[in-house]
Structure formats: structure tokens, C-alpha cells
């Protein structure tokens, strides 16, 4: 998952067949996820007490026969829209279920389960969830879009600048998360297996950055 080598290459490296690599990998992923689940849950619990930042990125999968809605017009790639949540220092605290890449971030926030899981941050008076303009229309805290034919006020510009400075942390978080090449260079396996892959990588990345 870290290097995203093909199973055939891994088989040559370890002196076994591709099918053996596939079988062992499918057994190891759930164990890794289970081993990090408790710690990841504790970190999410801690993060619930303060503001967080959310943003989406595309995990490439390549085109698949008979699978529609995976092409992201914004990112010009085929894959899953992944919603990542970070604390204000840029450390990962959660990812949502993968949704088709054609989904806009504002819809993916709900469809991924992040809106439900972090509902207290989206309520008035809650700790707050910061996001970019792609989340306008949700309950996340965003900047202000420039009105057609008009300029932003000085107050709105200052607000946008302050939010963007804080949002830089989630960009760092996503950069670290996609250093796991399976989320960056393209998932080759079955699409049905990808949610487990994402959960496993999420647990390992939380353990790496918080442990």
C-alpha cells in the first residue's frame, strides 16, 4: 500500500506467485485495520473537542468496464472522491467512505458519512468544520464567493484570507496521506475492495502521525 507495487512484482521480490501475494494481502489488511482501530478511535475522540478542516481529493482507479460516474471533471481523472478530515495542525483524524469521483465535494461530504460522523462540528455553536468554497451550501465554515459583477468587501476578503491560512493544514494532511501510493498512483484491484484499503491506510497514517 505504501509503494503500490503490482502483486506480480511483489511475488518476484518475495519468491512466490502473484496469487500467493493476493491471498496474503487480503488476510493482512483486516488485521492491520483491527490493530489500529482503537487508537484511531481515540484520536477521533480527541479531535471532536476542537475545530477541524475537511477537503476532498481523488484516488485514481483507472476506467472500469460498466462502472459510471467515476470521472471527475474538476480533477480530469477517473477515481474515488475521498473526504479527509484534519486537525488544525494538519494531522489526519478521519476519512469518509469513498464516493464516485463525479460527486462534488458538497455532496460527497454527506455521502461519505463525514457529515453524520462530525455532525456536532456542523451545528451552530459547535467546534466548527472549515472548508473551501466547494462546500458552500453545507453547514461547514467557508469563505465568501465573489458576487457576479461586484467586488468582495474588505471584511469578506479578510475573512477569506483567515480561513485559507487555516485550511493550508488540510492540504499538508492530504499530501502526507497520498504518500501512500495506493491512493496516489492508482488502485489496480477490485473496486469493492477499495473501502477496506482506505480504512487500513487511514488507520496506519493516524498511527504514524499521532503515535
Cα distances (Å, whole numbers) of residue 181 to 40, 74, 89, 155, 171: 21, 21, 23, 41, 16
- CA terminus-to-terminus distance, the chain: 19
Q: Is residue 113 part of a domain?
A: yes
What's the total number of domains in the chain? 1
Q: Which residue, 210, 36, 177, is CA-closest to 96? A: 177
Strands 129-130 and 92-95: unpaired
Q: Is residue 33 part of a domain?
A: yes
Q: Is residue 2 part of a domain?
A: no
Q: Is residue 25 part of a domain?
A: yes
pLDDT at residue 133, rounded to an integer: 93
Q: Is 82 exposed, middle or buried (0-12, 13-18, 19+ CB in 10 A)?
A: buried
Q: Is residue 1 part of a domain?
A: no
pTM of the model: 0.91
Per-residue pLDDT of the chain in tens (211 residues, 90 and over written 9): 888 888 888 888 888 998 898 888 889 999 999 999 999 999 999 999 999 999 999 999 988 888 888 999 888 899 999 999 999 999 999 999 999 999 999 999 999 999 999 999 999 999 999 999 999 989 999 999 888 888 989 999 998 999 999 999 999 999 999 999 999 999 988 999 999 999 999 999 999 999 8
Phi/psi of residue 157, each to 5°?
-65, -40
Q: Is residue 121 part of a domain?
A: yes
pLDDT at residue 113, rounded to an integer: 97
Q: Domain of 62?
A: 7-210
Q: Is residue 48 part of a domain?
A: yes
Q: Which residue, 75, 82, 29, is CA-closest to 56? A: 82
Q: Which residue, 54, 22, 42, 63, is CA-closest to 131? A: 54
Angle at the Cα of 117 from the Cα atoms of 111 and 122, rounded to 5 degrees? 90
Q: Is residue 96 part of a domain?
A: yes
Amino acid at each position: 500500500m505504501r509503494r503500490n507495487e503490482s502483486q506480480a512484482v511483489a511475488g518476484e521480490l518475495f519468491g512466490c506467485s502473484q496469487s500467493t501475494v493476493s491471498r496474503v494481502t487480503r488476510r493482512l489488511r483486516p488485521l492491520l485495520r483491527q490493530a489500529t482501530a482503537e487508537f484511531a478511535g481515540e484520536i477521533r475522540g480527541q479531535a471532536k473537542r476542537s475545530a477541524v478542516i475537511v477537503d476532498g481529493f481523488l484516488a485514481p482507479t483507472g476506467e472500469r468496464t460498466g462502472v459510471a460516474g467515476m470521472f471527475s471533471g474538476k480533477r480530469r481523472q477517473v477515481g474515488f472522491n475521498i473526504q479527509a478530515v484534519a486537525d488544525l495542525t494538519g494531522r489526519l483524524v478521519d476519512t469518509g467512505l469513498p464516493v464516485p469521483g463525479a460527486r462534488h465535494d458538497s455532496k460527497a461530504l454527506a455521502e461519505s458519512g463525514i457529515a453524520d460522523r462530525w455532525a456536532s462540528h456542523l451545528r451552530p455553536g459547535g467546534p466548527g468544520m472549515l472548508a473551501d468554497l466547494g462546500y458552500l451550501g453545507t453547514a461547514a465554515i467557508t469563505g465568501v464567493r465573489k458576487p457576479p459583477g461586484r467586488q468582495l468587501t474588505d471584511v469578506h476578503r479578510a475573512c477569506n484570507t483567515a480561513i485559507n491560512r487555516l485550511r493550508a493544514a488540510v492540504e499538508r494532511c492530504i499530501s502526507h496521506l497520498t504518500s501512500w501510493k495506493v491512493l496516489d498512483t492508482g488502485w489496480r484491484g477490485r473496486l469493492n475492495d477499495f473501502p477496506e484499503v482506505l480504512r487500513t491506510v487511514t488507520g496506519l497514517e493516524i498511527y504514524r502521525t499521532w503515535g
